[in-house]
Amino acid sequence: NDKVIVAKVFANKAAKLGFDAEAIDSHGTHVAGTIACDYLTLATVSGVTIPYLISGVAPAALLGNYNVFPGTIDDARSEDILNALDAAFEDGMDVANLSLGGDAHGIQDLLTIAIDNLDRAGMVIAVAAGNEGPGFSTVSSPGSAERALTAGASSVAHQVVNTITVPTAGGNVDIDVVEGDFDAVPTGTKVPIQVVIDAAGGRPDELSLACDASTALPKPLNDKTWAVIGRNVCTFSEKLRNVQAAGYAGAIVVNRDDDAFVMGDDGGASQPTIPGVMVSVKAGPTLKAATKDVALNAAAYKNPYGVADKMASFSSQGPTDVDRRIKPDVVAPGANVLSSIPGGQFAFFNGTSMATPHLAGAAAVVKGQHPTWDAWQIRSAIVNTAHHDVLTPSDSSVIVDDPNLVGNGRLDLLDAVGAQVLLDPVSISFGQVPNGSGSTRTASITVLNTSTGTVQVSIGSAGGTGMATFTASASIGAGTSATIPVAMSFAKKADAGPSWADLVVTDASNKVLATAQLYVLLG
């Protein structure tokens, strides 16, 4: 369509290799669709029609394609990304989406400095936190930038799933499977399966990870056999490549969590040409108990499928390296995300790359409703109105409030558009502080009250070790702003570990208008 008004390429080897800005890989097109897919679009996935019409977050937005991954290039230089950002700014783009990331290099990281500067100049930049979770301090660059609008990923409870029928001694068992982005699953057929065991692989169920190309997998039963292996360590492309090299016709990958999702390829030039599907970790024992060939059944759309608002296990977490700031800022859908891919097609993808365009689209909508707002105001509207009491960890049903897992919570676009209180910065971290001698430290936050009444600033709920105490109090009149102090203190020989609390802004009726996360790491 006519939404893409700029198409440029930024890669030092692009000209030599004959690459232009054309979208070859599906990643960028999927991201663009989440941002600005036409309002009420019919989508079909794997031959299954989605039973509702989909839309982008900002379906009226115009797009610029500043391609840093042209052709088969899958490793962008920081200098090329920086040049692309500068060009987008010079072309007048209000928002940039960076669904990418790499190793962070502290406070002197080239791209984190660039993003902070471009935000100050007026461009909102949404960035992926990274897919290196679970585990703290795994956030990547440039999602580690202070003024980046950094996205963590949560689940959407829908999917197009196949089933496989597994004969066991106790009868046939149907298992949901999710098809990966590889060769098509030959539905309507039966295939033998072979459970590949590696007791030294590190999984409790002892399934082989199929990650070591130098270690031969056992010979398959025949050329139609599918290998049953485990998820972890290496990419899905590597797993299927090794399985294919061993002579298997396909792979069933048992997840480490209680769900399944689309296994994406790693973007490399040499992709496997066999099908692969994922199953829940709970399906592992059933597959091990199979007595005959399994049947590969047709796909269907399921909603609900899994649990909504669950943090994706892969979503990277803060705090940042060196200065120990809160990241991500806010969470958006990043698991089981339906969007466009090249060729007029649609697919479900997973990753903080898929969460990021939800934030970029939200920024475009907020900018459209508040055209005079600066970048920091748009970021605050999105972050500080998020709902941080709805997300659960990938391995639990208990709501979690750790800011370095969930940021300030899950995006709520309607609340962001209606934001009446704006905060700068969007969160406060006191960094890492030695816990032996006791200390009091003070930071400041600017509160802009755009409402028609007076608002109150106070400290709300707290979490973590509880060793640190946070204090802040102010009354701010309608249409005014104030910079207020926020103090953090702890006693001598306090236990090491993180402490956090909510800074809460309420109106006269005690309605919460905005929240911000406060954080310190003792020890």
pLDDT tens per residue, range 436-470: 989 999 999 999 999 999 999 999 999 999 999 99
> Residue 35 in 3-state DSSP?
helix
pLDDT digits (tens, 9 = 90+) for 273-323: 999 999 999 999 999 999 999 999 999 999 999 899 999 999 999 999 989
Does the pLDDT value for residue 1 go beyond 80? no
In this predicted structure, what is the pLDDT of residue 213? 82
Please name the residue that has the structure tokens 């979770």.
133
pLDDT (mean) for 403-407: 98
Does the pLDDT value for residue 249 go beyond 90? yes
Residues 143, 146: Cα–Cα separation, whole Å:
8
Does the pLDDT value for residue 83 go beyond 80? yes
- 330, 152 contact by CB (below 8 A): yes
Q: How confident is the model at residue 265 (pLDDT cuts 50, 70, 90)?
A: confident
| % of the chain beyond a pLDDT of 90 | 90
pLDDT digits (tens, 9 = 90+) for 173-206: 999 999 998 999 999 999 999 999 999 889 999 9
Tokens of 453: 């009444």
- 519, 401 contact by CB (below 8 A): no
Does the pLDDT value for residue 512 go beyond 90? yes
In this predicted structure, what is the pLDDT of residue 258? 85
In this predicted structure, what is the pLDDT of residue 37? 97
Q: How confident is the model at residue 269 (pLDDT cuts 50, 70, 90)?
A: confident
Residues 14, 7: Cα–Cα separation, whole Å:
14
Please name the residue that has the structure tokens 């660059």.
141
| % of the chain beyond a pLDDT of 70 | 100
Global pTM reads 0.92
In this predicted structure, what is the pLDDT of residue 106? 75
Q: How confident is the model at residue 60 (pLDDT cuts 50, 70, 90)?
A: very high
pLDDT (mean) for 221-225: 96
In this predicted structure, what is the pLDDT of residue 210? 96
Cβ contacts of residue 344 below 8 Å, gap of 6+? none
Helix or strand run (H / E) with residue 85: helix 78-90
Tokens of 421: 């209180």
> Would you call 51 exposed, middle or buried from its count of C-beta atoms within 10 A (0-12, 13-18, 19+)?
exposed
Helix or strand run (H / E) with residue 332: strand 330-335
Residues 128, 148: Cα–Cα separation, whole Å:
9
Helix or strand run (H / E) with residue 17: helix 14-17
